[in-house]
Amino acid sequence: MNTITIEVGDTRIETPNAILARHVLEQATGLVPRAPEPFACTVETMRLTPTPGIGEFWSGQGGIYAGLMRGENGHPDYHLVVSPAERGEAEAITWGSAGKSEPGATNEWDGLANTRALAESEHSHPAAEWAAGLEINGHRDFYLPSRRELRLCWVNAPELFAEKWYWSSTQYSPNDAWLQDFGDGYQTTIHKFSELRARAVRRVLSTSTL
């Protein structure tokens, strides 16, 4: 029987159990998946990538680490990555299609699902379409964050943003959508034809079960 040897710092583990060995590596180094296709977050392709400190650039992941988001409705937790401002921020863009309801874009947590619904809608949604069309560091799965994802950004790394209003991908009503103020942390809604800032994000799944 083959034995797998793992050394993490001063700790040495020998085990024939490949699953256990993988879990130990996940816990120690941050085993994360890559998502090569737009809107795809998959665990099929794995690589060892240490998770950086909050507010630090995450090498190979297309941006700055903003923290861990809780997965909702049975979905796994995930790491939120904020795009670099020079490539992933729009200074003046509309949410779009005021007066048109988008029932697929009302999720307070899942900006990826919201963005997918808006980008695939028959109506125009400039902010979401812009975010979905970005390619940074080889990644093409950026999206417009939900209101809860923007709240995480405000709590953990507000210095990454200008002290301005930013669109979320979360619709409030046919005429209004949610936004986040990075000046004082306030959230409110505003008419979809308003021109505000937008910042793209992407996610990296947290696969550790320990």
pLDDT value for 49 = 62
Domain boundaries defined on the chain: 82-205
For the entire predicted model, the pTM comes to: 0.78
Tally Cβ neighbours within 10 Å of residue 58: 22
Instruction: Tell me the mean pLDDT in the region 75-91.
Output: 96
Q: How far apart are CA 38 and CA 43, in angstroms?
A: 15
Q: How far apart are CA 98 and CA 100, in angstroms?
A: 6
Taking only the tens place, the pLDDT of each residue in 160-197 is 999 999 999 999 999 999 999 999 999 999 999 999 99
pLDDT value for 35 = 44
pLDDT value for 47 = 47
Instruction: Tell me the mean pLDDT in the region 25-39.
Output: 50
Question: Which residue is listed with tokens 């812009």?
Answer: 130
pLDDT value for 44 = 29
Q: Nearest to residue 197, comparing CAs of 156, 134, 150, 155?
A: 150
